[in-house]
Amino acid sequence: MSDRSSNPAVRNPVLALPASQRIAALPPEARDALAAVLRELSVDARARAQESWRRNKGPMAVYWKAVGAYATHLYRVTRR
């Protein structure tokens, strides 16, 4: 068994995208607003994934889980 990489781009693949550099260059107020929206999206998507799983709607649960994961990765790019 091997240890997970500590390289940030491995743990958060969104960091490897050129757009993440543009997000990092935004003014602090814009980044804060974007981070708040992405955090809310992440929490909501994860709740929808749980509800879909509970209702035996596997494909929708997977979809919402992925939305939540990407929203969380983007949130972590935007926060200061």
Q: pLDDT per residue over 37-80, tens digit each?
A: 999 999 999 999 999 999 999 999 999 999 999 999 999 999 87
How many domains is the chain built from? Answer: 1
**CA 16, CA 48: separation in Å to the nearest integer?**
28
For residue 42, what are the contacts with CB-CB under 8 A and spacing of at least 6?
68, 71, 72, 75
Domain that holds residue 48: 28-80
What integer pLDDT is reported at residue 1 of this predicted model? Answer: 57
Q: Is residue 12 part of a domain?
A: no
Q: Is residue 33 part of a domain?
A: yes
**CA 9, CA 14: separation in Å to the nearest integer?**
7
Q: Is residue 72 part of a domain?
A: yes
Q: Is residue 45 part of a domain?
A: yes
The secondary element (H helix, E strand) that includes residue 38 is: helix 28-54
pTM confidence score: 0.81
